[in-house]
Amino acid sequence: MMNEEYNRTSKMADCRMGNVGPYFRRTFLRLIQRRCWALLLGLCLGGAAVSHVPVPPCRAVIIAIDPGHGGRDPGAVGYGVKEKDVTLAIGKELAVLIDHHKGMRAVLTRRGDYYVGLAQRDSIARRAGAGLFISIHCDSGKPRWDWATVYTQKRGSIAKASDRLGDYITAGLRHIEHADRDRTADFVVLRDSRVPAVLVEVGYITNPHQAHQLATVGFQHRLARAIFRGIQHYLSR
């Protein structure tokens, strides 16, 4: 009590006497301390609040790759080359290219030599949340025919997007071989797809030269790269 009284008196005396330095210094230091704590508390609370802000996930575009035929269904056969083997090899390589690219992820409707129904192919793509559907096939016809053809969706609101995707893939394939301008078709996989879809006939397996090319790993990889470039251009526009 005595001390308190003394301190109060002393402070008043200090003020009266103009010796205000120590009093203001103490007040100033207390103020700084309080502000520091407030600042620290603010930073902690702010940090906690920021750390709880949900960061939107960077979602990749899922691309369904559909290697045509498989298992008991060999597809077209020419000069000992089976369509199901060519489409699987190109499809797998295309999936590798897609998976190595940031922002894209591939899902294959078949990964080996087994049969997958047409409806099942579509449901695999849907379950995976695919945003694009690329079906790969080989054509059959006259032995002198030797070009690629890209088919796009005929009806619905996504037909325009399918057409654009088809244009880019056709342009990519034209770096390798003659590629037919994309046409619309009513193939089941195109009709069933609710996302932009194309069906690529990569070449004629009934042409002796092209059958040999289609069975070559180097040519298969070139085709996969050409399709990949088309997808890339489509997604970048």
| Nearer of residues 118 and 128 to Zn ion, judged by Cβ | 118
Closest CA to 118 of 186, 173, 215: 186
* Phi, psi (rounded to 5 degrees) for 115: -85, 135
For the chain, give the longest Cα–Cα distance.
Answer: 117
**Considering the rule CB under 5 A, would residue 82 count as an interface residue with Zn ion?**
no
Give residues with Cβ within 8 angstroms of 112, minimum separation 6: 70, 88
CA angle 129, 135, 138 (to 5 degrees): 165
Listed ranges 4-12, 97-105, 133-141, 157-165: which one lies at the site for Zn ion (CB under 5 A):
133-141
222 binds Zn ion (CB under 5 A): no
The nearer residue to Zn ion, 104 or 199, going by C-beta atoms, is: 199
Cα torsion through 116, 118, 119, 122, rounded to 10: 90
Q: Smallest distance, Å, CB 118 to Zn ion?
A: 11
Q: How many CB atoms lie within 10 A of CB 194?
A: 13
Cα distances from 210 to residues 17, 164, 214, 216, in angstroms, run: 108, 27, 6, 10
Q: Which of 82, 121, 137, 222 binds Zn ion (CB under 5 A)?
A: 137
Instruction: Answer yes or no whether residue 67 interacts with Zn ion by CB under 5 A.
Output: no
Of 68, 78, 166, 196, which lies in the binding site for Zn ion, with binding defined by CB under 5 A? 68
Choose between 104 and 197: whose C-beta lies nearer to Zn ion.
197
Judged by CB under 5 A, does residue 203 bind Zn ion?
no
Active site residue 83: no
Tell me the two tokens of residue 93: 């390589």
User: Which of 63, 66, 70, 75 forms a contact with Zn ion (CB under 5 A)?
Assistant: 75
Minimum gap (Å) between residue 74 Cβ and Zn ion: 10
Q: Is 91 in the site for Zn ion (CB under 5 A)?
A: no
Residues serving a catalytic function are 201
Which residues in this chain contact Zn ion in the complex, by CB under 5 A?
68, 75, 137
